Amino acid sequence: MATLTDHLAAIVGADHVSVDPDVLATRATDWTGRYRGSASALVRPGSADEVAAVLRTCRDSGIRVTVQGGRTSLVAGTVPEHDDVLLSTERLTDVGAVDVAARRIRVGAGTTLSAVQQTARSKDLLFGVDLSARDSATIGGMVSTDAGGLRTVRYGTMGDSVLGLDVVLPDGSVVRRHSTVRADTTGYDLAALFVGAEGTLGVVTSVDLRLHPIPAYRVTALCGFADLESLVSAGSTFREIDTIAALELIDGRAVAMAAEHLGLPVPVRGTWLLLVELAADDDQTSRLADALTVALVCTEPAVGVDTATRQRLWQARESVADVVGLFGPPMKFDVSLPFSSIPSFERDAGNLLRRYAPESMPVLFGHVGEGNLHLNVLRCTGEQEAEIYPEMMKLIAAHGGNVSSEHGVGSRKRAYLAMSRTPEDIAAMRTIKNAFDPTGYLNPAVLFG
């Protein structure tokens, strides 16, 4: 290892290699604090060529490599299992000039989402993918998990925003796939192959991103519902509006806890809340009002047209992550469900939790327009999680759901991959993995294990 460390230091500089046990212990623990691994070294390359040299050195030394970005994974996607070398993309933060005419920008994989948003905004453009973890989530990690987020109902996932990328393959070669034309069908769409691959096929080092015009008008409403069936019925109407910009489910328990523990206002009462936003180049207020007249709300909706009011309404959604963290690391499920199955899944999940962990508290929220939901279970011990997790996975599959919606499979869900993919599908993915990485040294704990 001492020899390997010397080689890595020669590539990236001694200041960018660490074997400090405290540093490695922190880096080998996931964002939730529930999953821990072991690492032998941390290396922080500053360019694609340095990434390539690091990968070749580790491969030739028989050392496994785990790639890390903002480390906001919720499925242990960046937790090493084999004393791996940790390859951090945190220095790959170059932000190119915005091409206003083409509405695109090239950024390094270590660039945070918030930096991309700020740069786009400076040119009166926006980036379509938005997450609550925008200040720490990095573009490379978002590409690797095909992240969706708060605006997916309007702009799609990361895969819809990637126009090109640079990626270092496991053999150390660098693929640079960029095109400035709108239509390009010359051969395989290699860029798409790396979106959602969770770093198993290569290390993304830079990305060309699609940008969008900023709508001139926005109007936001926060609606309260007495039951989930009524919310889902309203959501099915809202998501068909062509100017929909956001459609977010919020558990009323989370809003109540935010009021109690964080002192935040409660704009609307309801067992379940639905945040709706329309955006266009013309005023959408009357259109929103018309849609609200048929929604079975249990109280008068709160509506915001000006920026300050809209931000206050959004605070109800953005505060959920802060609230669930008050009770220690939650057990998290990131699932995708058929729209019609959401109410029955919520009931069955509640029954399951009462059976295995009577003191636990489920908090359900997420991007309901796509059936992409986050079930966070508070006050749940590690022993209870060991019993609950496989049963919850079975329940998700029984309701026609997908065991991962936007956080990826990581290592936490790899045992459940067959619940969402056929044996033939998994075999095809393994064939691709073996073709790119025959020794299986890159992100070895992720997806397949």
CATH number of the domain to which 13 belongs: 3.30.43.10
For residue 434, being part of any structural domain is answered with: no
Nearest to 190 by CA among 154, 166, 224, 209: 166
Beta bridge partners of 204: 167
Residues 137 and 194 in one domain: yes
Residues 333 and 313 in one domain: no
Asked whether the beta carbons of 40 and 84 are under 8 A apart, the reply is yes
In the structure encoding, which two tokens stand for residue 412, read together?
Answer: 């936490």
Beta bridge partners of 430: none
Provide the domain limits for residue 201.
104-213
Instruction: Give me the pLDDT at residue 448, please.
Output: 84
Residues 305 and 337 in one domain: no
Among 319, 339, 354, the domain boundary falls at: 319
Residues 207 and 222 in one domain: no
Residues 141 and 192 in one domain: yes
Residue type, 402: N
3-state secondary structure the chain: CHHHHHHHHHHHCHHHEECCHHHHHHHCECCCCCCECCEEEEECCCCHHHHHHHHHHHHHHCCCEEEECCCCCCCCCCCCCCCEEEEECCCCCCECCCECCCCEEEEECCCEHHHHHHHHHCCCEEECCCCCCCCCCEHHHHHHHCCCCCCHHHHCCHHHHEEEEEEECCCCCEEEECCCCCCCCCCCCHHHHHCCCCCCCCEEEEEEEEEEECCCEEEEEEEEECCHHHHHHHHHHHCCCCCEEEEEEEEHHHHHHHHHHHCCCCCCCCCEEEEEEEEECCCCHHHHHHHHCCCCCCCCCEEECCHHHHHHHHHHHHCHHHHHHHHCCCEEEEEECCHHHHHHHHHHHHHHHHHHCCCCEEEEEEEHHHCEEEEEEECCCHHHHHHHHHHHHHHHHHCCCECCCCCCCCCCCHHHHHHCCCHHHHHHHHHHHHHHCCCCCECCCCCCC
For residue 354, being part of any structural domain is answered with: yes
User: Residues with Cβ < 8 Å from 131, sequence gap 6 or more?
Assistant: 113, 137, 142, 147, 149, 150
For residue 97, being part of any structural domain is answered with: no
| CATH code: domain of residue 280 | 3.30.70.2190
Residues 288 and 349 in one domain: no
Q: What is the pTM of this model?
A: 0.91
Residue type, 280: A
For residue 239, being part of any structural domain is answered with: yes
Nearest to 398 by CA among 358, 338, 333, 331: 338
Among 319, 349, 372, the domain boundary falls at: 319
For residue 447, being part of any structural domain is answered with: no
| CATH code: domain of residue 127 | 3.30.465.10
Beta bridge partners of 14: none
Dist. CA 154–CA 27, nearest whole Å: 35
Sheet with 244-251: strands ordered across: 302-304, 217-225, 272-280, 244-251, 361-367, 372-378, 331-336
Q: How far from 179 is each of 5, 96, 132, 159, CA to CA, in Å?
A: 37, 16, 31, 16
Distance from CA of residue 225 to its chain's centroid?
27
For residue 93, being part of any structural domain is answered with: no
Residues 164 and 188 in one domain: yes
Among 213, 240, 263, the domain boundary falls at: 213
Asked whether the beta carbons of 107 and 116 are under 8 A apart, the reply is yes
Instruction: Give me the pLDDT at residue 1, please.
Output: 63
| CATH code: domain of residue 381 | 3.30.70.2740
Dist. CA 139–CA 158, nearest whole Å: 9
Residues 62 and 127 in one domain: no
Nearest to 339 by CA among 366, 310, 372, 378: 372
Residues 192 and 284 in one domain: no
For residue 53, being part of any structural domain is answered with: yes
Residues 121 and 24 in one domain: no
Residues 339 and 240 in one domain: no
Write out residues in the chain with pLDDT < 70, as ranges.
1-2
Residue 337: CB atoms within 10 A of its CB come to: 23
For residue 57, being part of any structural domain is answered with: yes
Torsion of CA 339, 345, 346, 348, to 10 degrees: 170
Per the structure, how many domains does the chain have? 4
Residues 137 and 184 in one domain: yes
